Structure 1
C-alpha cells in the first residue's frame, strides 16, 4: 500500500481540492430572495439540520463565489464546538457558508477520495492535530485557515481509500435506510391523523378543546439524582426520534417521561419545526430538558403518539406562532396560550385505530434507532483502526457483514 504524507496546503496547490471559510455577510446584505446562511449550530455530526432563518440576497451572489455550497461538499465546524463534520447531500438546497463553517471541495480525479476525507475528519490523525491548534486562543476554541492549511493527512492509494469508504459506508448506509423507514412510518401516520380532521377548521358548535386530549406541561417530580438531559439541538425538524442526550444533575428545566412530546417554544426553533417524541428512557425514568420546551402529554385513553402529531400539525403550529410574544428574535409562546386551541372532535374508532398502528410503528422505530446507535458505535470503533492500518479491510468487512 503506497502512502503519502501531504498537507492541506499541498493538496490545494496541486488542485486536488479547494477549501475555505464562509462568507462574511453584512446585515445590509440580508434579504429575500436569496441563499440561506448555513451556520455552525446547524452542522451536526454526519447531518445538516438547517434552520433557514437568515438569507443573503441574490444580489450578492457574485461576491459569495465558491462559498456557495455544492452537493458533496464536506463541511467542518471550526469555532466553538470544533470538529463536527457532515456532507452536503445530493438534492440539498444551496447555502452560503457562514465564517465559522469551513468547506472542502475535492476535485474529480484527485488523489483524495471525498468521502475518505469526511471519515478522516472523524479519526485520530485529524484530532491529534486539531486538539493542539484549536486551543491556541484565550477565547472559544477555533481553527483558522492557517491551522487548516498546516494539517497533515496520510493519503493511501485510491483503491485503499475506496475500500475503507466502502466498509465504513456500509454501516452508514444501513443507518440511512433505518432513517428512511422511520420517515415513511411518520408520513403514513400523518395521513391517518389527517383523516381525523386535525388540519381542518372545526365547526364552532362541535369543536373540542385540545386540552380534552392533551396536557400541556404536566407536573412531574424532580429527579432525585443524575438524569437524562435533552437540549434543543437534539430535536429534529422533521422526525420524532430524539438524536442524542446526556446525563447531568437536575438543576432546572422542563421534566418529562416516556410518551411525552417536546415542542420548541422559541423563535426560530418553533417556526422551523423542532419537535421530538420521548421513548428512549427506562420505564418510570424522569428526564430533564431545555427551558425552551413545552411538554405535551396525551391524556389517559388517548394514544400517546397523538400529542406528537398534534404538535406537528400545520394548524396547531400556526396557532402557536401567532401567539408568540417578546422582543424581536427572542419570541416565545407560553404553554397556556398554545393550549388555547380547538380541534374537530376525532372519531373514537379512528382514534383507536390510529393508536394501534402508531404503537406498532413507533415500537419498530425504537428498535431501528437502537440498531442505528449500535452501528454508529461500531463504525466509530472501526474507523481509527482502518485509518491507521491496524485493522485490515478484509477483517473489517467480516465484522461489518455480521452487523448489517
Structure 2
C-alpha cells in the first residue's frame, strides 16, 4: 500500500479570471482560448492555463465536492477545484481512474459547505501498482471512455449540421410561421403519486446548454413533486432562465420538471423544424427578453407561441424534418451505446483498482 500523496501531487486552482488574459502562470497567445474548469467540469473558457494536459480536476468545495474530471488539454482550473498531477513515473490517466474510484465525496469534511483538503487527499491509502499495471488499467478503461467521447462528437457534429442547415434555409425562407403553428405545449401536470418508479425523469440538470439532443436522464423513483409527462419526439424547452439555452429533443418517454415547457409537434413531419427553431439563438434571445422575474426569470409559453420564425415552405420543411430525424436516430443509437459503455466502465473500475480483476499489460 501507499499514500495517495506519493502517487499524485495536488495544487489548488486559482480564482476565475476576469475579462482579458488571466494573471499567470501561463498567458495565452492572441486568440487562444482554454477550457475553464470549476468544481463540476467545464464552465467556460479562459485566455490562459494553469493545468497541463492530462490533468485530473477534483471538485474542492460545495455540492460538487469530490467530483472528478479528466482534462485532455491544457486548461484553467478555478479555486473551486483542485488540480491532481501524476508524479514522475505514474500514468496520468490511471490517476484519473484511481481518484474516480476512491469515492472522494465520502472523505469531505463540513456539512453546510463541504470541503476537500490536501491533507485529506494526501493521506488516503491506495494500492501500490507498478507502472505496467497502471498502463493496463488506463488502456482498458480509457478505450471505453474514448468511444464514449467519439459518440459525443457524433452528437455535436449532428447538432452543428442541423443548425447550419436551418440557418441556410431560414435565410432564404419565403415566409414565416408562429411557433404555436409548429408545436403545442403539454399542460397537464402529473402528481408524484402517479409517477411510476421505473419512469425516466429529465430535469434542468439533464439538459445540456446549446445541445439539442437529450441523451441523459434519471430514474423517477426519487421524484416527490408534480411533473409534466412527455413522449419520445417531444421538444423540451427550459422556461427557467432561458438564457442558459437548454432546449432538446427527447429520445424516451418520461416526466419532466415543471420548469420545462414540453412542446409536442403539431405535425411529426415538422418536428425537425420545430426543434431547430426553438433551439435557435434568435428564439432563445426572444425568450430571455420576455422572461419574468429578476432572480429566477421564466418565460411563458404564450409569449413563445406568438413568435414568428422563418418558414421555408412545406416541401423543404418536410425534407428538413427527414434530415433531422435521420441524424437524431444516429445520435440516439450513439447515446444508447455510450450508456452501455459507461455502465461497463463503472462495473470494471472497482475490480481493476483493487486487483480483483487482473489487468493484463
Q: Shorter-normalised TM-score: what interval?
A: 0.7 to 0.9
**CA pair 23-183 structure 1, distance change in 2 beyond 3 A:** closer
Equivalence map 1:75-224=2 (5 Å): 75-78=57-60, 79-90=62-73, 94-99=75-80, 101-107=81-87, 110-123=88-101, 126-127=102-103, 131=106, 133-134=107-108, 136-197=109-170, 206-215=175-184, 217-220=185-188, 222=190, 224=194
> Is the contact between residue 298 and residue 306 of structure 1 (CA under 8 Å) also seen in structure 2?
no
Which region of structure 1 is more displaced relative to structure 2, 295-304 or 364-373? 295-304
CA distance in 2, matches of 1:330, 1:69: 34
Paired residue for 2:270? 303
Cα distance per residue 1:321-366 (max 9 Å; x no partner)? 2223322x53332322233311222221111111222222212222
Match of 1:246 in 2: 219
Structure 1 segments unaligned to the other structure (5+ residues): 12-16, 398-404
Which of residues 305, 313, 317 in structure 2 aligns to 1:339?
305
Q: Indicate if the aligned counterparts of 2:2 and 2:127 stay in contact, CA closer than 8 A.
A: yes
Higher strand share: 2
> What CA distance in whole angstroms lies between the structure 2 residues aligned with 1:245 and 1:214?
26
> 1:120: how far off?
0.9
* Paired residues of 1:220 and 1:256 also in contact (CA < 8 A): no
Alignment of 1:16-35 (within 5 A): 17-23=8-14, 31-33=18-20
1:152 and 1:207 mapped to 2: Cα distance? Answer: 64
Which residue of 273, 280, 292 corresponds with 1:313?
Answer: 280
Is the alpha carbon distance of 1:175 and 1:301 closer, same or farther for their aligned partners in structure 2, counting shifts above 3 Å? closer
What's the CA shift string for 1:213-259, capped at 9, x where partnerless? 122x3223526233422222211124313323221346224442221
Q: Tell me if the contact between 1:8 and 1:151 (Cα under 8 Å) persists in the aligned partners.
A: yes
Aligned partner of residue 100 in structure 2, secondary structure: coil
For structure 2, the residue ranges without an aligned partner over 5 or more in a row are 23-34
Deviation digits for residues 104-138 of structure 1 (CA, Å, limit 9, x no counterpart): 1235xx13211101011222xx23x763x32x534
1:37–1:98 contact (8 Å) kept in structure 2: no
Q: What corresponds to 1:363 in structure 2?
A: 329
Q: How many residues align?
A: 342
**Once the 2 structures are TM-superposed, how far is the Cα of residue 375 of structure 1 from its aligned partner?**
0.9
Distance across 2 between alignment mates of 1:70 and 1:332: 40
Q: Contact between 1:38 and 1:95, CA under 8 Å: does it hold in 2?
A: yes
For the 8 Å contact 2:77–2:83, the answer to whether it is kept is no
Aligned Cα RMSD in Å? Answer: 2.9
2:26 aligned partner: none
C-alpha distance in 1, partners of 2:65/2:305? 39
Contact 2:190–2:228 (CA<8 Å) still a contact in 1?
A: no
1:24, distance to aligned residue in structure 2 (A): 5.5
If the length of structure 2 is used for normalisation, what is the TM-score?
A: 0.83
Structure 2 counterpart of 1:50, from 33, 43, 50: 43
1:301: Cα distance to partner?
A: 4.6
- Change in Cα spacing, 1:183 to 1:31, as seen in structure 2 (3 Å) is closer
Q: CA deviation at 1:141?
A: 4.1
In structure 2, relative to structure 1, the CA distance for the partners of 1:241 and 1:218 (3 Å cut) is closer
- Tell me the distance in 2 between the aligned counterparts of 1:351 and 1:210: 14
- Structure 2: distance between partners of 1:295 and 1:116: 42
